[in-house]
Structure 1
């Protein structure tokens, strides 16, 4: 059972991902893998340096994430060039992790930009964590210390709420309490696990 999990920034997707893992799902985290494939000493990091230059490295030889983020956030062409390096590497590693999961497992691919990359159709189910933009902004400014302007710019750079909801087979409404969120996730997981058991 292949499940895509997505949600806008500060929607609570990471919390949902953690609950699903607790419930026994195999979580394949695209963000985590994206960090792994450009870790120091990897061919991925070499390719990034070749494309963008050594000024994007820290003195320790790691990728300077804030500098890279600032560059690609301001320049769509740079973002496409970076994605052309990273996406195939992430895709390959995700496939390896999925192949290692048991046949009847619920395999959750945690993909922040699922609506943007147009891969929703490749999953048996798509879970979208939903929260209104105003609540996302509140969380970013309150919990992460961002400016309102930065928060709104980041939301604007992602798919719209409507675009995400359009690909959903299941929606987790994250406007209530943590208990409320957990109840929704448990119900969705139970349904998906049953489908996986029947088809596996």
Structure 2
């Protein structure tokens, strides 16, 4: 079974691409959502996070305190690296358990905002990068999250890797610019991944 990574910048349409793959019967592991689940439900990970960031990392109801954690780590790159070093191995192990359930299939998809090239610290066979022009990405985010200002959106984009760096990771590119049909591009990849 092949493991295919799908990534792209915020607003690129990677979630849309993954919904199409799901509709075609391909299992999709949503790494970012799963990481959120693990931070709340994996007792060892919770304990590790509290050791690193203190008890305020979880709120009074016991839920992961995203606002507090973000305030701590985004101004402290060392702390962010330490937090990622706790979360990423747990997500990787969870991905392997999840993928094992689909061993009879030709391929599965792992969707994540952050991803290395295939084979660089992961067990991916290929990485698909979803690309869209920056102005279109901003419009999509504003439509999806109308409470966000353009300055906030640009700040998020500036914290992500550049499109050029993302393209360096790609074994395949999907262009989601609303001038090219997306589904035929996905069907072409599906056929290639099944070979």
TM-score under structure 1 normalisation? 0.86
1:142 is aligned to 143
Instruction: Give ranges in structure 1 of 5+ residues lacking alignment.
Output: 196-200
Residue-by-residue CA offset, 1:25-55 (whole Å, 9 max, x unaligned): 1212211221122114622112111110111
Task: Find the aligned partners of 1:59 and 1:162 in 2 and give their Cα distance.
Answer: 42
Measured on the aligned residues, the alpha-carbon RMSD in Å equals 2.3
Instruction: Give ranges in structure 2 of 5+ residues lacking alignment.
Output: none
Distance 1:70 1:141, change over 3 A: farther
Distance 1:122 1:56, change over 3 A: closer
Distance 1:69 1:186, change over 3 A: farther
2:166 is aligned to 164
Q: CA deviation at 1:14?
A: 1.0
Paired residues of 1:133 and 1:155 also in contact (CA < 8 A): no
2:67 is aligned to 66
Instruction: Please say which of residues 108-117 and 23-32 is displaced more in the overlay.
Output: 108-117
Residue-by-residue CA offset, 1:121-165 (whole Å, 9 max, x unaligned): 742221111012222222223321312222112111111101111
1:198 is aligned to none
Q: SS of the counterpart of 1:114? A: coil
Task: Find the aligned partners of 1:38 and 1:158 in 2 and give their Cα distance.
Answer: 22
TM-score under structure 2 normalisation? 0.88
Instruction: Please say which of residues 110-119 and 134-143 is displaced more in the overlay.
Output: 110-119
Task: Find the aligned partners of 1:122 and 1:43 in 2 and give their Cα distance.
Answer: 24
1:7 is aligned to 8
1:19 is aligned to 20
Task: Find the aligned partners of 1:15 and 1:55 in 2 and give their Cα distance.
Answer: 35
Paired residues of 1:40 and 1:63 also in contact (CA < 8 A): no
1:27-176 aligned at under 5 Å gives the runs 27-40=28-41, 42-115=43-116, 119=120, 122-144=123-145, 145-176=147-178
Q: CA deviation at 1:94?
A: 0.6
Q: CA deviation at 1:83?
A: 0.3
